[in-house]
Amino acid sequence: MSYLIENRNTDYLLMGNEAIARGALEGGVHVVSGYPGTPSSEILESLSEVATERNLYVEWSINEKVALEVASAASFAGLRSMCVMKQNGVNVASDFLLHLASSGTRGGMILVACDDPGALSSVNEGESRPFARLVEIPLLEPGDFQEAKDLTKWAFELSEEIRNLVMIRSVTRMSHASGNVRYGELPHTHAKADYRFDGPLTDPETGPVISMIVGVSELQHGPQQEKIRKAAAIFEECPFNTYEGPEKPDLLIITSSACTLYSKEAIRLLDMKETVGILKLATTWPLPPRLIKKHLCSAEKILVVEEVLPILEENIKVLAAEMVHETGPVIFYGKNSGHIPSVGELNTDIVISALSAIFDIRHEVVSESFAKKAVALLEHKAPVRGLTMCPGCPHRASLWSIHNVLEMDGREGFVCGDIGCYVAGLWPGGFNTIKTLHSMGSGSGVASGFGKLKQFGMDQPVVAVCGDSTFFHAAMPALANAIHNNSPFTMIILDNRGTAMTGFQPHPGIPVNAGGETVPSLEIADICGAMGAKVEIRNPFDLEETQKTLHHLIEYEEGTKVLILRQACALSPERKDKPEYKMVVDEEICIGENCGCNRICTRIFGCPGLLWDREKGVSKINDIMCAGCGVCADICPAGAIKKKEVV
Amino acid sequence: MAEDLLKDPYNIIITGVGGQGNVMSSRILGNMLVGRGYYVTIGETFGASQRGGSVMSHIRVSEKSIWSPQIPEYGADVIIAIEPVEAIRVLARYGNPNVKILCNSHPVYPASVIRGEIDYPSPETIESSVRDLAPDALFTDATEIAVGLGNPILAGIVLLGAICRTGIFSLDRNDLHKAITQRLEQEQVKLNMAAFDAGFRLPGD
Amino acid sequence: MNIFGPNELLKNVTDRNLCTGCGACVDLCPYFKSYKGKTAMLFSCTIPRGRCFAYCPRLEVDLDYLSEDSFGKPYGTDPLGFYRSIVISRAGGKFTGNTFQAGGTASALLYFALENGYIDGAVLTGRDGILPTPRIVTHPEDVLSCALSKYTAAPTLSAVNRALSEGLKKIGVVSTPCQTLSTALMRTNPLEENEFTDPFGLVVGIFCTWALDFRVFEPFMASRVDINTITKTDIPPPPAEVMEIHTNGGEALSIPLDEIRALVPDACLYCMDMTAEFSDISVGVLEDDPGGNTLIIRTERGEMIVDEAVKKGYLVVDDMPERNLMHLKDAAGSKKRQALKKAYEAGMVNTSEDTISYLRLHTETLEKIISRE
């Protein structure tokens, strides 16, 4: 039995994401959807493991917009549902999100957004919090792991109370961190889907569920705003908003999310428990005005600790401005004062710096000489580890071929990049091939645009790369657009048979679903062909054939082309720990650094399965890392790298 | 029952390179400690860093509550390094003169070293650099032991065994067994126990 | 001769548009590759001294050094370079029924040399559609499939590099003047390798005034004819002023040479060698005789092979009329003077010792050539 559905009376060590999953189970969830995105993926994964036992429907949807739509259907039918995604996913879902917030929901529904301050696993640190205020739904943020569970369960009740979805926002340091959680009861739920739609258009409970009757905003928008006011009233008494500290603190910290833990620790290390209080808000939109007022009255100095944008800070300042005649003036510290950085994630040390600055004190943990020694050693003795593709990664072979073809073609062709492990194409490890990078599927749209600039003198071959999951998520419309508008770019689909970067989840191109069952799959080549593209499929490990095909496509083929480079990811169940070849370097033949090679395998190709032996001046296979794909044998100019089939 | 902590919270870091079983080892240690009644907070960096990047797990052990998933600077009490250069990296930010460090001597070369852009420091340099910052340091080739048992990813568990031998929280193999027996297949349980025992048997303090 | 590496090659040749696509730097290593006539560098290479630089005919070419090495005397002022004799030639009786360009001398001699063991392989230029493609040939019959002239630059020397790395020891090659110059550089063992031997058994140079960029020529042709139907391209000897395109469909297409000349790459204007002065023998068209060749015999080795070929019926030779010789000297001399002057004025000749020069030769000789009218 999965520990997620156990019921022992003991503490469990759970990841924040697992705690949210358990909270959803305790809250009686039945339908869970999402799209893989770090740091959110484990929520859905852990629920899919218990789907049968707990009568859940769990779906990895094609993208976050559809995922939200799928979850909303369950809610319209009276079931409790949850949709999970990373911060960027909310952007993708936002159009539907806005309309859903307008139409309202029935069964309790939660949108879980996991943000990535510091962009540890993203190409931006954009925030999801503003969406709550923008689309006018409540926003909740758990401050630790127990709360991640309890708040999620409570959120379903809140959602049904106000008849609208509720957003829970987590961050990497909550979702991927772990801590003690004590379980509650798992309910026996009666799950009967019942979508009622025969009532009048104006009745959101029995009539059709619609965003708005055109031109009559009072009918929907008014009630929607009423729901927010109702939430604010509920939040005044919410047990998850807690205060810890003296009645009249010298400084009040107002914080939420993981920043709660940083603030708590900073106070402990500076020994300020008697003078600094922490107001931890779990309900960060709408802010409960009476609660805020009470605390604004108790302190003259306030430090707001939050990550990335000053959203909480500015929302509190609005209230403070409105209530100043009741609370007296307050001095605010935070991002706008420069005490808390506006970029990157926070930690205890940053909060300590802020407090030290405010109170004009010095906090030293180690001697200055130790600190200096540490910095010097780090600079000189600890080589940096850059991002690199795994040994045996098919993208390495694909990017190698793409790079070489564009160089030989000589017309300054370039690649529009996309989101996935092949992002390594930005760096030397991916041969510096990628020249634009934005959001999911955007590479193809941008390439479609570049392809139409010929009338303005742009004659360069344009290529876009995207993964198989990304193709389904967002690139299909861009491809259709290009074909329809005659944009002659080449879309290269790096099909490694799964959503690899986030942990190898399935997608519509894979005949397996979140629960591991066999399901129909969509064939990418057929879809592209049906759209009208010229389609070729090749194995990227066959460098010669791949390059020959790509040369032909970018030189001779009219219209929009699709080259599918299909080879399973090195970490996929298909290939992990199943090397195709045993590799070995014949040191007698190896040219090494001399003219004729200049160790292209380790210096340029850079697979972690290869090592450079400086003393001997030859390359070697790193047996622990080598995945046995055999590609390095094909790039060795001397034929010194040998591959032998493993039986 | 929780035993009195020398320091509350007590801070342990397990560090290595993506793919070395860092996360697995930290979860197992965390579960062992929760099993003994402590509050445990684990903070990890993974995701993009899985692809060959540095990985750190911060483990806070407390009798009182959950703390920040990241240890404040210079705040580590024990460091377990599955990769030697990562030991230096972690020590530089989280070390202090009193930290205890247990270090695997088997290197994993970064892409930049493989490409010949920079040098990987010699074992002697690494050892002297580590001892310079942390006099209380122990080195062992845990990967060799792990490979001997069948999988290099067991190196982290070998080191766990070694650190438990120092008497930290009085953890022993029974705590390990309790922590993993329900979560892993029987074969895996046996392997992990063997790795732990091998580490526990290592000489030194 | 100063020898540097690929970065200097890029800076002094590629970036200055002096590359003729000869292929000398191609297929020595994974970095320089040729595609459709253009030489590209795939990745950076950090080697300070490399064969690519040493073999490039546009870098540190010390004409006196090469001339001493090949002919035992410094570089002179003769427009045709050093030679022992000049004759008219054409393929002999052994080749009746074959299609050649002009007299077929180059093909006949390579065939002969391969059949009789003077060379163990021949590097020629075949074609793939209208794209000239270097070929390594080890059977004499295969020589004939590469018989026709090409007017766009081919990286023939890349096949020399490949042939040598595949183990061939005595190569025959048909090379343009810039390529021939490179073979002369190769023969001097510039990187002082141990156990070095002359990799060539016979270097047959061909006359050349320019070679077009395939990437410019292909669209130019495609707009006038279906390029898949082209069987032969020919520029008949003076006084004809056309390029003839023969197709398997119908009539030959005649394009005024002026239109073709407008496509000549800049790099060719810096070439002072019309007759491949550093070959064993050089072969070209014969004025007023579309079925014959001009044959310049330069080295002892070349002379010996020609004599044997004639004796055994592979080649037929005759005296060269004075008038033809004078016109040839005029044409060659004019190209030499113009190119050398252009290079000199661009500061690419005899630069100071610590810099990289395109050409080096005795100042007196340089001045004589430039000032001659």
Confidence of residue B46 (pLDDT cuts 50, 70, 90): low
Question: What is the per-residue pLDDT across A332-379, written as a single tens digit (0 to 9) for each?
Answer: 999 999 999 999 999 999 999 999 999 999 999 899 999 999 888 888
Report the relative pairing of strands C85-91 and C289-297 from DSSP bridges. Answer: antiparallel
**Cβ distance A256 to A264 under 8 Å?**
no
**Cβ distance A316 to A302 under 8 Å?**
yes
- Sign, CA torsion C110/C113/C114/C119: negative
Nearest-angstrom CA–CA distance, A380 and B120: 10
Residues A428 and A456 in one domain: yes
**Cis amide linkage into residue B121, ω under 30° from 0:** no
CB atoms within 10 A of CB C87: 18
Cβ separation of A381 and B95 shorter than 8 Å?
Answer: no
Question: What is the per-residue pLDDT across C202-258, written as a single tens digit (0 to 9) for each?
Answer: 999 999 999 999 999 999 999 999 988 888 888 887 788 999 999 887 778 999 999
Record the tokens describing residue A196, joined without a space. Answer: 């009622």
Cβ separation of C43 and A431 shorter than 8 Å?
Answer: yes
Residues A167 and A262 in one domain: no
**Cβ distance C203 to C280 under 8 Å?**
yes
Q: Which domain holds residue A460?
A: 394-566
Nearest-angstrom CA–CA distance, B86 and B75: 16
The dihedral over CA atoms of A302, A303, A308, A309, expressed in degrees to the nearest 10, equals 20
Nearest-angstrom CA–CA distance, C137 and C123: 6
**Cβ distance A140 to A284 under 8 Å?**
yes
The b/e string for B98-123 (b: 16+ C-beta within 10 A; e otherwise) is ebbbbbbbbbbbbbbbbbeeeebbee
Q: Please tell me which of the candidates B37, B52, B69 has its beta carbon nearest to residue A387.
A: B52
Provide the greatest CA pair distance for chain C: 58
Does position C363 have pLDDT exceeding 80, yes or no?
yes
Confidence of residue C38 (pLDDT cuts 50, 70, 90): very high
Nearest chain B alpha carbon to A570: B51
Residues A407 and A531 in one domain: yes
Among A213, A236, A259, residue at a domain's last position: A236
Q: Please tell me which of the candidates A377, A382, A599 has its beta carbon nearest to residue B132.
A: A377
The CATH number linked to A346 is 3.40.50.920
Please give the pLDDT value at position B1. 40
State the total domains in chain A. 4
Please give the pLDDT value at position A614. 86
Nearest-angstrom CA–CA distance, A479 and A525: 12
Residue B4 is classified by DSSP as: P
Q: Which chains does B contact via 3+ CB–CB distances below 8 A?
A: A
Cβ separation of A177 and B115 shorter than 8 Å?
Answer: no
Record the tokens describing residue B86, joined without a space. Answer: 């990562």
| CA distance to partner chain A, nearest, from residue C146 (Å) | 24
CB atoms within 10 A of CB C172: 28
Going across the sheet that includes A31-34, the strands are A57-60, A31-34, A81-86, A109-115, A166-171, A139-140, A283-285
First-to-last CA distance in chain A? 37
Question: What is the per-residue pLDDT across B77-114, written as a single tens digit (0 to 9) for each?
Answer: 999 999 999 999 999 999 999 999 999 999 988 877 87
Nearest-angstrom CA–CA distance, C219 and C204: 31
The domain ranges of chain B are 10-200
**Cβ distance C50 to C5 under 8 Å?**
yes
Confidence of residue C373 (pLDDT cuts 50, 70, 90): low
Q: Is the CB of C30 inside 8 Å of chain A's CB atoms?
A: yes
The domain ranges of chain C are 76-214+264-347
| CA distance to partner chain A, nearest, from residue C148 (Å) | 26
Please give the pLDDT value at position C94. 83
Q: Which chains does A contact via 3+ CB–CB distances below 8 A?
A: B, C
Chain B contact set for A176 (CB, 8 A): 43-47
Please give the pLDDT value at position C287. 86
Cβ separation of A385 and B53 shorter than 8 Å?
Answer: yes
Chain A contact set for C191 (CB, 8 A): 595
In a domain, A212, yes or no: yes
| CA distance to partner chain A, nearest, from residue B11 (Å) | 13
CB atoms within 10 A of CB C40: 17
Q: Is the CB of A365 inside 8 Å of chain B's CB atoms?
A: yes
Residue A343: half-sphere exposure toward Cβ, Cα within 13 Å: 1
Compute chain A's Rg from CA coordinates: 28
Question: What is the per-residue pLDDT across B171-190, written as a single tens digit (0 to 9) for each?
Answer: 989 999 998 887 888 888 99
Residues A588 and A558 in one domain: no
Concatenating the DSSP letter of every residue in C95-153 gives GTT---STT-HHHHHHHHHHHTTS-SEEEEEEEETTEEEEEEE-SHHHHGGG-S---B-
Chain C contact set for A403 (CB, 8 A): 42
Residues A294 and A229 in one domain: no
Cβ separation of C29 and A596 shorter than 8 Å?
Answer: yes
- Sign, CA torsion A395/A400/A401/A407: positive
What are A83's strand-pairing partners?
A: A33, A111
Chain B contact set for A269 (CB, 8 A): 72
Does position C164 have pLDDT exceeding 60, yes or no?
yes
**Cis amide linkage into residue A286, ω under 30° from 0:** yes
Residues A86 and A193 in one domain: yes
Q: What is the mean pLDDT of chain C?
A: 93
In a domain, A370, yes or no: no
- Could you identify the residue written with the tokens 């046995």? A628
Residues A524 and A633 in one domain: no
Residues A628 and A510 in one domain: no
Please give the pLDDT value at position B51. 63
Question: What is the per-residue pLDDT across C173-209, written as a single tens digit (0 to 9) for each?
Answer: 999 999 999 999 999 999 998 889 999 999 999 999 9
Residues A521 and A430 in one domain: yes
Of A173, A126, A131, nearest to A438 by C-alpha is A126
Percentage of residues in chain C having pLDDT higher than 70: 99
Please give the pLDDT value at position B2. 47
**Cβ distance C206 to C101 under 8 Å?**
no
Cβ separation of A179 and B42 shorter than 8 Å?
Answer: yes
Question: What is the per-residue pLDDT across C93-133, written as a single tens digit (0 to 9) for each?
Answer: 888 777 777 889 999 999 999 999 999 999 999 988 889 99
Nearest-angstrom CA–CA distance, A400 and C69: 43
Please give the pLDDT value at position B3. 52
| Residues of chain A under the 50 pLDDT cut | none
Q: Is the CB of A373 inside 8 Å of chain B's CB atoms?
A: yes
| A335, B8, B72 from A270: Cα distances, Å | 21, 15, 12
Q: Is the CB of A637 inside 8 Å of chain C's CB atoms?
A: yes
Q: Is the CB of C51 inside 8 Å of chain A's CB atoms?
A: yes
Chain C contact set for A410 (CB, 8 A): 35, 38, 40, 215
CB atoms within 10 A of CB B174: 10
Confidence of residue C149 (pLDDT cuts 50, 70, 90): confident
Confidence of residue B45 (pLDDT cuts 50, 70, 90): confident
Residues A38 and A172 in one domain: yes
Amino acid at C140: P
- Secondary structure (3-state) at B33: helix
Residues A127 and A203 in one domain: yes
Query: Which segments of chain B are extended strands (E)?
Result: 10-17, 39-44, 54-62, 78-81, 100-104, 136-140
State ipTM: 0.94
Chain C contact set for A606 (CB, 8 A): none
Cβ separation of A407 and C50 shorter than 8 Å?
Answer: no
Among A340, A359, A378, residue at a domain's last position: A359
Please give the pLDDT value at position B47. 45
Q: Please tell me which of the candidates A403, A431, A598 has its beta carbon nearest to residue C46.
A: A598
Among A522, A540, A566, residue at a domain's last position: A566
Q: In the CATH hierarchy, which fold is given to the domain comprising B10-200?
A: Pyruvate-ferredoxin Oxidoreductase; domain 3 (3.40.920)
Residues A454 and A535 in one domain: yes
